[in-house]
Every structure is written in structure tokens, then in C-alpha cells.
Chain A
Amino acid sequence: GENVEQHPSTLSVQEGDSAVIKCTYSDSASNYFPWYKQELGKGPQLIIDIRSNVGEKKDQRIAVTLNKTAKHFSLHITETQPEDSAVYFCAAPEGAQKLVFGQGTRLTINP
């Protein structure tokens, strides 16, 4: 089955700096890679996703890059703000019915 590894487990950056979170996956057939943001006490919320037919996708301050050959994808947040502080999860599909999540990255933005 699919195995998703996520690094780092914690990340602390100064407000205004960039943050990068990386994930690797094992199943070369996987074709959809979402990123979820989980704020304290809430459910995961999709913030961006990418399909395997593109290498990069951007939405304002967040972007995701995908390297299919190396089987890794990354989340990039630029000009970080305090409200970006949360736990971020990457995921990849296993079969047609489920997502396998990474271990999560606790991102802290220091004012």
C-alpha cells in the first residue's frame, strides 16, 4: 500500500519568511496529492492540491510542487503570517477510496 513520509515534524519561522514542508510517497501510480491544514480543535481543511499531470500549482501565498520521478511533493508558504500557524498534513491516495496521510508538520509563525 501507499506510504507517505512527511518532514519536518515541527517548523518554526519568522513572520514574513517562507516555510517549506516536504513529503515523499511510495506508490508511483498515485496521481493526486492534497495538502490539509488543521487548526487546533478543528478538522483538516484542504488548502491546495495537485494532480500528477502538472509540476507546480500556486494559489496566492501557497504553492505545491511535485516531482513524480523522485516521488516527492512539497508545500511552500511565502510571506508567512501568524494565522498560518497550524498543523499541515500531506496525503496521497491508496486505491480509489482512501487517503493516506503524512505524520503532520506543526508550523509556528513567530511574530
Chain B
Amino acid sequence: EPEVTQTPSHQVTQMGQEVILRCVPISNHLYFYWYRQILGQKVEFLVSFYNNEISEKSEIFDDQFSVERPDGSNFTLKIRSTKLEDSAMYFCASSLGRSSGELFFGEGSRLTVL
């Protein structure tokens, strides 16, 4: 069964450092997403990406965040200068159609900012 894969599974970084989280969405999917889950809280939308551009972003997704699809398979989330409050589980997801269709989530990348 096709799946969304994410790397790294866990990253520890110092405050102020740049972090790049990587995702390989399901190959025939067209919509890509990043969601975040702070420990013990609900899953929150960060950004959606379609046709090589951001289609929607949340208030959380400020200038410190960026996304990119550098090639035909990878989808990355970059945090330019990490803050303590960026510590969370970051989930990549993809879907064939819009959010009214099934989202497939990866296993997540746990980011710890010290």
C-alpha cells in the first residue's frame, strides 16, 4: 500500500537554528500539506500546496516557515530560525483531491528545540 514517508523521525536542534523536514508524498497525489501537533494537543493545519505553490496557510505559518517541492517527489518544510514553541510533531499529508477527500498522513517528524 502506498504511503507518505517523512524524515527525520526525530530532530533535536538549538533555538535559532534552521531545520528542514522532508516528506515524500504518495506518487500520484496532487495536494500536499503540513500539519503540526504540539504534545497532547490536537492536530493543526499549517499549509497546503498545489501546483507548485502555496494554496492556503494558517496564522501559524509565518515568515519563518517555507515549503518547497524541489523535485518530483520531495516536499519540504523549512523553519528558518527555530523557537522553543516550534517543538512539536510535524505531519506531512497528501491527497489526490482537495481536503474533502481522504488525507494520507506520514508517521511524523518530532522536532525538539532546546
Q: Which residues of B contact A95 (CB under 8 A)?
A: 56, 99
Give the complex CA separation of A96 and B97 in angstroms: 10
Give the complex CA separation of A60 and B106 in angstroms: 25
Give the complex CA separation of A44 and B106 in angstroms: 8
Given contacts A44-B91, A97-B99, contact A89 B42 (CB under 8 A): yes
- B7–chain A nearest beta-carbon distance, Å: 13
Give the complex CA separation of A31 and B108 in angstroms: 27
The answer to whether B114 has its CB under 8 Å from any CB of chain A is no
Chain B residue at minimal CB-CB distance from A32: B100
Give the residues from 38 to 84 in chain A that come closer than 8 angstroms, CB to CB, to chain B.
41-46, 49
Q: Which residues of B contact A103 (CB under 8 A)?
A: 41-42
Interface residue tally on A, bucketed by range: 20 to 34
Number of interface residues of B (CB under 8 A): 26
- The answer on a CB contact under 8 Å between A100 and B45 is yes
Q: Which residues of B contact A20 (CB under 8 A)?
A: none
- The answer on a CB contact under 8 Å between B98 and A97 is yes
- The answer on a CB contact under 8 Å between A99 and B42 is no
The answer to whether B102 has its CB under 8 Å from any CB of chain A is yes
Give the complex CA separation of A98 and B58 in angstroms: 9
Q: Which residues of A contact B41 (CB under 8 A)?
A: 103
Give the complex CA separation of A31 and B101 in angstroms: 11
- The answer on a CB contact under 8 Å between B42 and A42 is no
Chain B residue at minimal CB-CB distance from A103: B42
Contact with A along B21-56 (1 / 0, CB 8 A): 000000000010100000001111100101000011
The answer to whether B86 has its CB under 8 Å from any CB of chain A is no
Set A42, A99, A102: member contacting B99, Cβ < 8 A:
A99
Interface residues of B (CB under 8 A from A): 4, 31, 33, 41-45, 48, 50, 55-56, 58, 91, 93, 98-108
Interface residues of A (CB under 8 A from B): 31-32, 34, 36, 41-46, 49, 89, 93-104
